[in-house]
Structure 1
Amino acid sequence: MSRKFQCKAVPSTWIEKYARRLDCGPYMSGAIEARELLRQLSARKDHLQDLTKGGISGIINAGRITRLWVEDAEHGFPFLSSTDILQADLSNISHIAKSVARQNNQLLIKDKWTLITRSGTIGRMAYARSDMDGMACTEDVLRVIPNKEKVKPGYVYSYLSTKFGVPLITSGTYGSIITHLEPQHIADLPVPRLGAVEDQAHELVQGSADLRVEAAELLKTAGKIANEQFGFPENLALSHRVFSCAVASSTQVLQRLEATFHDAVAQESDRLLAGVPHKDELSTLGISISETGRLKQVFVDEEYGAPFLTSGEIFRLRYEPTRFLSYRLLPDESEWATQEGDLLLARSGQVGGIIGRGVWADRRFAGGCVSVDVLRLGAQNSAILPGYLYAYLFLTDVGYRQLIRTAAGSSIPHLSAPDILRLQIPRCDNKIEEQINELVWNAGHKRAEAQEKEDEARTLVERTIEEGGR
């Protein structure tokens, strides 16, 4: 349902069908129109609970849990929030104690499940990939467990995420301030049976999930190779959470006074870099750092504007801009347009959050505009390969620590372009840098292709329903 103001005449029969509900959600979302179209469809229709494992018990609300966090992965499970299930990178999420999972056997998820946010912003979905298997997931996400003997898991996801499925899901929400969704609200949701189309949709969705897993593995390999070349550890300590005491030379203190710039972990990253024989300062490599600046943000319909992404949106699994900046008010493209191969750096936020994290701009990002809270690093025509630079800055912990230590500000820390340009970049054999660069580019291609496959599956299901199930 659009956020724009809407006015709609609703027949009294609709109100009677919805048990005389007087909130606007079911009537404005398109749910009733979707039900009417599905009712007229000649294809057989099953209720969602008829296609889940164990009936309605196959649609799970895990229930409230105690949040007990651990820092060592050996003692915990990666914990997915309702935001995390929509993220492309799951390598930096928090861990919840295994003892919590033992108290609630519904906390852990498995691959091929459909995950649906059930609180706050309801109806956002993800298809559980193999790299999510065995992770813990918040109670704010419903788990839909398909009965594989009755339906293909990928079809369940592709149908529920269509323009027919989403309105039907969101129409069942309740609550005035923080809306919620329960299993019984979607248990009777009609699912049309489309024969061979279900198999095609499943193959596309599963292929999309596999590509995303492959992309994550490629990036992991790129970071591992970079670490091995310089003898860097995979992880340094979490300095922003652990008390430490360190001594810094007076010459260093004259440049920066913040404790985080001189703490023991920052100094350890300096020591590791000092052991690298060949380093270049970023400013000498011909890297362009673009700061969008505070553009006049006038949002228009898609055909009249450039896609606009915030620092939170660039990390999402799917590239789906919802706002578009007016072309008429934008400066020259060179000042704002993202290119494939750019490095997008979140420059502000809380330390330990997204600040200092980066995204590789694959072909989906080309021509888009990022907010003032994102720095664009362009290395396509520089003296360093962009994929290699990405791997060092964002896939090694030493690179991340060098970035994050320069954050300035007390309430909302931020990174500045001059500080980033002063960073020392370790260099290795050209062939190794080319190998790492190729891994990163390939990962970007796979992520873009994954979204294309998922979109194709959704379009296939929607078109088949609109054509009467043929």
Structure 2
Amino acid sequence: MKVAEPGNPARLGWFERQGLKLVARPYLSGAFATTRLLERLPVEKTALKDLTAGYAGGIFDGPMSRRVYLTDPAHSVPFVGSKDMLVADFSALPRLSRAEAESPSLSYMELKPGMTLISRSGFNAGRRSYVRSDMVGFWSSEHVMKVVPNQDRIQPGYLYAFLASRFGEVLVRGGIYGSAVKHIAPEHVGEIPVPRFGDAVETEIHELVQGAAELRAEFQAGLDAATRDLFRTAGIEELLDLRWHEQGRDLGFAERGVSATSLRALNFQPRARGILERLGERECVSLGEVCAGGMLRTGKRFKRVEADPAYGVRLVGQRQSFWVRPEGRWISAEQAPDDILQEDETVLIAAHGTLGDNEVYGRSILVTGSWLDNAFSQDFVRVVSGDSGVSGAYLFAFFRSEAVFRVLRSMSVGGKQQEYHTKLLRGLPIPVLTQPDRDRIADTVRAAYRKRDEADRREDLALVKLEAAVTG
């Protein structure tokens, strides 16, 4: 149990500043210690609510509303929840009815570049993200708090950097309340003191954050371009616009030639079989053949042995592997199997989960660049090419598509927790293009990931400069 320091007990004034909330977290989280540190800084401090503008003063969430999901881009908008705001690749976001989104009750929930988003409820309460230029036209749920900077008073990149820093994190999370379900309310972050360090410092930090956001938008565009290039070059461009749910449910179908491989109806799903048949019309090689001499299996189960970050590796699980910046526990690599660390350009497929459309089961990531420093749990299929002509970057451009996601789901076996039928997975057809085509697509993916790493570097540098300004 965490207790207050005997020499620094909670005071009545603290309760008044927290709206007389009688929960211990704000007083033990370090929020008040950080506030006192900022109060002692010999610079101007301004309450967050005085640096924002717009609807409800510029710090707001939204009303509970019905969710009408559609798939047609002409009649829907990308919809961001408290978990979705953390992901690196927005291509799999759910889509909300445009009529609902643009209604008077929800129209102000549209995201604008430069906003800082704060997840305000649930397991992810208190996490922050920055709205990029490619998020124009996105809407957010009531579980995402918006902080809209008054750009006449503060630059959006600097405001985000402060809220994303360790100082901002303590102050934002200090306002969390609730027992089973955690919450943050706009009034609990409006009083956060934001230190001002002058135009030169704040502009430098803003430009680093804004540059990182632009690079992440280019990362997204690069991945989308690589996947489009692959499908168009293979002559299966229609699979890019799959409209899965518009094809009707797979009911009342018959299957002939069933073998001992599987008797599960899902494995013979007509919609997925249609995708496989279309792929089969092109020149393809099976995934098992591509990975002969490489790797195609899930990781080994192992016991986690906690370690200090100076001596351990960060273990990334399924959900966090899709975030912009993963968080994870630090474990001893010496007490874990070798396959927790990946070769360059290993494709990892989330291998365990349920069949909900918004679950990560069936989605893929590419491990390259700075992410090679992370360890990954056993809950991924490791896809390592054994063919020098078929790179991991090329495979990833294929695996990240909606068509492959649906085919992988159709290969599921299990009860509540699903996983892939190994024989069906080995038989997955991979389009064979000319070597120059494969190299071009792979180079597009690699360039996108270099931009992602550079974005991380710039954001880290912005936080270092902010911390130096505060502590110096």
Asked if these proteins are the same fold (TM beyond 0.5), I'd say yes
Contact 1:338 1:366 in 2 (8 A): yes
Return closer, same or farther for 1:108/1:380 CA change in 2, 3 Å cut-off: farther
Instruction: Give CA deviations for 1:319-368 in whole Å, capped at 9, x if unaligned.
Output: 33x3122234223x3x3212331111101212232121100112222143
Instruction: Give CA deviations for 1:287-330 in whole Å, capped at 9, x if unaligned.
Output: 3124322101222222232221111111011133x312223422
Q: What does 1:56-455 correspond to in 2, within 5 Å? A: 57-101=57-101, 102=103, 103-120=105-122, 121-195=124-198, 196-232=200-236, 233=238, 234-238=240-244, 242-245=248-251, 250-276=256-282, 278-285=283-290, 286=292, 287-320=294-327, 322-331=328-337, 333=338, 335-351=339-355, 352=357, 353-379=359-385, 382-395=388-401, 397-455=402-460
Q: 1:47 corresponds to which residue?
A: 47
Return closer, same or farther for 1:55/1:463 CA change in 2, 3 Å cut-off: farther
Partner Cα separation in structure 1 for residue 15 and residue 247 of structure 2: 50
Could you tell me how far 1:384 is from its partner in structure 2?
1.1
Partner Cα separation in structure 2 for residue 338 and residue 370 of structure 1: 8
Return closer, same or farther for 1:362/1:284 CA change in 2, 3 Å cut-off: same
Could you tell me how far 1:254 is from its partner in structure 2?
5.0
Could you tell me how far 1:124 is from its partner in structure 2?
0.1
Partner Cα separation in structure 2 for residue 149 and residue 62 of structure 1: 25
Return closer, same or farther for 1:231/1:328 CA change in 2, 3 Å cut-off: closer
1:428 corresponds to which letter in structure 2? L
Return closer, same or farther for 1:416/1:240 CA change in 2, 3 Å cut-off: farther
Contact 1:239 1:265 in 2 (8 A): no
TM-score computed with the length of structure 1 as normaliser: 0.91
Structure 1, unmatched stretches of 5+, are none
Partner Cα separation in structure 2 for residue 22 and residue 420 of structure 1: 54
TM-score computed with the length of structure 2 as normaliser: 0.91
Partner Cα separation in structure 1 for residue 21 and residue 97 of structure 2: 42
Instruction: Give CA deviations for 1:381-416 in whole Å, capped at 9, x if unaligned.
Output: 644121111111223x33333322211123221124
Contact 1:15 1:22 in 2 (8 A): no
Number of residue-to-residue matches in the alignment: 458
Match of 1:9 among 5, 8, 29: 5
Could you tell me how far 1:439 is from its partner in structure 2?
0.8
Q: Root-mean-square deviation (CA), in Å? A: 2.2
Could you tell me how far 1:237 is from its partner in structure 2?
4.1
Structure 2, unmatched stretches of 5+, are none
Partner Cα separation in structure 2 for residue 405 and residue 239 of structure 1: 14
Contact 2:350 2:381 in 1 (8 A): yes
1:131 corresponds to which letter in structure 2? D
Contact 2:391 2:442 in 1 (8 A): yes
Instruction: Give CA deviations for 1:431-459 in whole Å, capped at 9, x if unaligned.
Output: 11000000111111111211121111112
DSSP 3-state at the match of 1:445: helix
Q: 1:36 corresponds to which residue?
A: 36
DSSP 3-state at the match of 1:251: coil
Return closer, same or farther for 1:135/1:306 CA change in 2, 3 Å cut-off: same
Contact 1:290 1:336 in 2 (8 A): no
1:119 corresponds to which letter in structure 2? S
DSSP 3-state at the match of 1:65: coil
Return closer, same or farther for 1:199/1:272 CA change in 2, 3 Å cut-off: same
Return closer, same or farther for 1:46/1:224 CA change in 2, 3 Å cut-off: same
Partner Cα separation in structure 1 for residue 116 and residue 222 of structure 2: 25
Could you tell me how far 1:86 is from its partner in structure 2?
0.2
